[in-house]
Amino acid sequence: MNPLAASVRKTIERYQMLRPGDRIGVAVSGGADSVALLRLMDELRDDLGVTLCVAHFNHRLRGADSDADEEFVASIARERGLEFIVDRKDVAGAAKSRGWNLEDAGRRLRYDFFTDVVAHRAATQVATAHTADDQAETILARLIRGTGLAGLASIYPVRGAIIRPLLEVRRESLRSYLTGMKQGWREDATNADARRLRARVRQRLLPEMEQHFSRSVVNKLGELAELTRDNEVFWTALVEEQYRNIAERTNTTTCIQTKNLLWPMGAVHAERFGERNPFHALTQRIVRRLYADIATIGGELSRNHVEQVIQLAANGSSGRRVELPGGVRVRKEFDQLIFAGAEENKCASGRSLQKNSYAYDVEVPTQGSTAITVPELGRRFHLKVIDWPLRERETTHEGVVLDAERLRTPLVLRNWKPGDAYCPSGRSRQRKVARMLIASRVSLAQRTSWPVLTSAGRIVWADRMPAAKEFSASEATRTGLWIVEDVG
């Protein structure tokens, strides 16, 4: 076994990339790296106990050259006696229609192809030809564009069904390997296009760093990526543990108490750090986890988005909200944040419109009781005419009692509307119903359809609030109207 193949085998074993009996789809573009990967995997397949097939994605970006790449890869597959799997997509068209840049569109569609190869059981894993140079170039490009710690993890040796056996091999070693066995490859001229950042990093920046700063810069960047990946594994485990303990998932939303988001491991553990919150990094990652749990439409959460959510938790008033990419909305309701996705927000708007439209005329009985059902709320209220004042044994603390003789028609039970206000019993000034609901910690979702009773257009009562002062039963009242909800 040649030294390069032995090195690749060591990488495969180190990261437990495959098992005997697996069928590996080798992703071959026709370039030197992917052709070398195919030849190395073909050399190792008996020792590894695996079978191979060749997977080629035609981006259709270079006309006849793209088709020539496809035929070249197909010929290599035939020479090795391997099944050839191909997919062709209009990458430029997809980029234009979906608003992606060309490079991103190619990557997305290419990996969709790899996913399909595995999903249709043509292979158990797909091996791509990412090298140590690719690893270093990716880190430098991300540093230039701007990245967080997770971005420094760069290219993972194993990511789901994708494996990268060449990740510890230099690109020049692969070309030497191919030259030594007189194996040709195809060159893609677009890889040398200096208008692309990745090409400039490859052609100028990395060679400059190797020549004038450190000959081992590629290895050092690879070590940084590995160290970051180890940290990411720890962070992922910690975030998942905290997420399970402090987040509450429903069918359409995810909720979290603000104190649990801001102090996910308890404020008591942070006393020795003074005013600085030592869990801010954990809080940031929990916000991203909450977002990922609810987002169903493509979107990217920036650092600024994350900080907006944290500020909402720390300083926002109840009812405030933050709009995030992908149609996700975060609203604050008293001491909790509620993350809702695009579909839930759309449905919620529809439900709010429906709930805000009800109004029912109320007939006050001359004696006995009547009932009124509000289907929009799934609730039923009983109105009973009683003598007043009640005798002591008849005293009740449930519901509210109005002075029936002060009421005027039309008497209407309807939903709360912005601007509604009245002077509650025991108060000297008028108060807005909205403020009373907030003070009573009624959620925004409930507030939009909160029932109020009006008499000739004037509010006489809001559910679970004191009756209006001028309509409330008093010592002078002779006939009361008792309103109580049927909780049966």
Q: Is there a domain that residue 235 lies in?
A: no
- Residue at 293: amino acid letter: D
Distance in angstroms (rounded) separating the CA atoms of residues 294 and 338: 10
Helix and strand numbers (H, E) in the chain are 17, 21
Do 81 and 174 lie in one domain? The reply is yes
Mean pLDDT across the stretch 403-413? 91
Do 161 and 296 lie in one domain? The reply is no
Distance in angstroms (rounded) separating the CA atoms of residues 311 and 337: 11
Q: Left if phi > 0, otherwise alpha if psi is -120 to 50, otherwise beta: which for 146?
A: left
Instruction: Say which range, 49-63, 130-144, 227-241, 371-385, has the weakest mean pLDDT.
Output: 371-385
* pLDDT > 90? residue 446: no
pTM, 2 dp: 0.70
Do 173 and 279 lie in one domain? The reply is no
Looking at 229, 262, 284, the residue that finishes a domain is 229
Do 343 and 411 lie in one domain? The reply is no
DSSP codes joined into one string, 45-69 = HHHHT-EEEEEEEE---STHHHHHH
CA–CA distances in Å: residue 400 to residues 287, 358, 366: 43, 22, 18
Q: Could you list the residue range(s) of the whole structural domain that residue 318 is in? A: 250-352
Mean pLDDT across the stretch 263-283? 75
The β-bridge relationship of strands 247-249 and 253-257 is antiparallel
Predicted local distance difference test score (pLDDT) of residue 353? 46
CA–CA distances in Å: residue 155 to residues 135, 141, 222, 476: 6, 12, 9, 81
Mean pLDDT across the stretch 3-32? 97
Neighbours of 234 (CB within 10 A): 9
How confident is the model over 321-356, as pLDDT tens digits? 999 988 899 999 888 999 998 665 555 544 544 445
Q: Is there a domain that residue 445 lies in?
A: yes
Predicted local distance difference test score (pLDDT) of residue 393? 46
Tell me the pLDDT band of 418, cut-offs 50, 70 and 90: confident
Tell me the pLDDT band of 84, cut-offs 50, 70 and 90: very high
Distance in angstroms (rounded) separating the CA atoms of residues 364 and 188: 85
Looking at 293, 322, 352, the residue that finishes a domain is 352
How confident is the model over 458-473, as pLDDT tens digits? 999 999 899 999 999 9
Strand ranges, E, within 143-203: 158-159, 162-163
* pLDDT > 80? residue 251: no
How confident is the model over 140-189, as pLDDT tens digits? 999 999 888 889 999 999 999 999 999 999 999 999 999 999 999 998 87
